[in-house]
Structure 1
Amino acid sequence: MIIFMFTVSQTKFAMVSWDVYIKQFRNYLKLERSLAGNSIEAYVRDITKLREFFEIKNLEVSPLKVSQANLVDFIEFLNELGMSPYTQARMLSGVKGFFKFLLYEQLIDKDPSELLESPKIGRKLPDTLEFHEIEALLAEIDLSTDGGTRNRAMLETLYSSGLRVTELIELRISNIYVEEGFVRVIGKGSKERLVPIGREALKYIRLYKDHVRVHLDIKKGHEDFLFLNMRGSHISRISVFTIIKDLALKAGIKKSISPHTFRHSFATHLIEGGADLRAVQEMLGHESITTTEIYTHLDRDYLKQIINEFHPRS
């Protein structure tokens, strides 16, 4: 359920305004630039993400009134979501193409994206893995061992749900809702959220629980933690880091890999596939960046639809 804090007429006006110019941009790319269908859709998707950003921030900004400061905020928002520098650069290219079109059509007097060659996008991000690299890394896990079965379940969960490493090691069995396809995650500040979890992750969690975890001598107080070390205590952050580093070495991946790499890859792959920013923001557990709350929560069925439609493992 979405609760709007602004009037319907304002919202409709803003959406119609963007829809009109996006449609004109699409026709321009097709008729005057003669671009292929895939290229056109990529450009349009980038502009749609910019529109979604303004909706999330509760800003009534017409495409003709976008400022350079607005675009810097947009790039910083993508950075906060964990977009790889490559994806940010590609999306910025699409945005630049849109404003060049508006300038070409004399709809604006100045291109707000003109000076955004090297935007300040905050802290340096870890490398993002391509999907084939994630598959290569997972393929190095030896499923004939107890540790390997657990590790596969952990990494599938990281990539399936975009969890932080602390959220992964604190994940409780009682917070996994298999039938519904969700996990309840305790994030920063002890704030809870529900996140969809994919079929592959659930499959390996079941294998781990039924064939490995059930045979461990579990220490008192650790009975509900899902992922345990071989001594029956819940696994540590350092262990997860070490497991991932070793697998990357075996897979011949030269990038700087950490558990957070899976979180960034989760967000990047969803957005590159077409998922909307608000849904990804909700699943990552980021604080709302609006000054007034636009919505209480996104419909859970919609979040599952996003995962099923846009996540590579689906």
Structure 2
Amino acid sequence: MNKVTVRNLHLTDLQQPNMLPQIIHKLSQGEYYPALEKQIEQNSRLDRRKFEGFTDVEMMYYYVHQRKHIRQNRDRKHNTKVEYLRNLLQFYRYAAESRQFLKEDVKDYTEDSLLKNLRPWHIRHYQEYLQTAPLGKGGKPYTAATLDGKLTILKSFLKWLYTSKHIDFPLHEEFLGTSLSGEDIPNRDLYYHEVKQLLDYYQDHPIHHALLTMLAMTGLRVREVAEAKWRDLYLDPLSGHYRLKGVGKRDKPFDKYIHPVLFERIIKYRERRRVSIEMNPDDNGPLFPNREGDHYTYKNLSNLIIRAIERTDLPFLKQRKEKVTPHFFRHFYAIYSRQQGADIFLIQKELGHQDRRTTERYLEKVLQREQEIGMLWNQDNF
């Protein structure tokens, strides 16, 4: 596919599963965006609707790539764009497969756009389909959390289409609520005695030992660990401690305290990889290089850590319904910090949560135990 095929993608292409990875890759690239902006400008000059002449694929493409900030690095990241496209194309393929039905079901059917032919009841049917279809892991329906994420993206897209006057019906209002209850939220709590077992298991393995310690003692996301550079580790002249600076989710900068024990394990990791251990503000290489000396992709690093944890076959892992992933260590960071007396606001700040409620969800069990009135009783009275 070349540059102009964003416009020329055909429904039959979108309906072929083997074509989907190639299509998502193509649509995730931003080189076609300026041409669409130029078309919008031309429409404005001719007093046309903003998106007049846009194909459905171009509407999805523009929505995913649309600029919202003067600084490009504040817009959606590549992986976010891929996730949005995957969900929007899943919906669009469903509509494409129902094209003949739509022709018979919709009065004044228009041939130039499937999106413009959608009606409120079609959205309700799609939500029911997603809720029951065996599309999740192991051929089961999607979990409540996955379903909520998918429908949130779709609802946002349909609302944008309506407010942009590209479609005539407020389809986004047709979705039934998908907010998660406590039972729907996966239990990703991880506790000190469990983390300690993992660290003890790998105490003679410099690679896994350092990575697990890094996750546990910083609360960083696995992507942030994968993207960390050696030059970003520095000795703070104010405190005399080592620190790691970087940029995290939503382009929020972080500056993490690195405990001496963690620093020692980072050094052992780098010695095992046979890379420099001399501090160098000009060294743009990875903090944790892979075997080739390059940065891990965050998915590869995540999979490496998941496999390392599984291989321990520790008893507490067998009691869990799902695999322990790097994200669990963010929960551990919150829980252990609270147990050590940290304020919720400070924990929220350290984890980079926008909403305090997210932090409180991480700490739900800990906060419940803190308020357990039975602990106020004197058992000797019984």
Task: Give the TM-score taking structure 2 as reference length.
Answer: 0.39
Higher relative contact order (CA 8 A, sep 6+): 1
Larger radius of gyration: 2
Task: Give the TM-score taking structure 1 as reference length.
Answer: 0.46
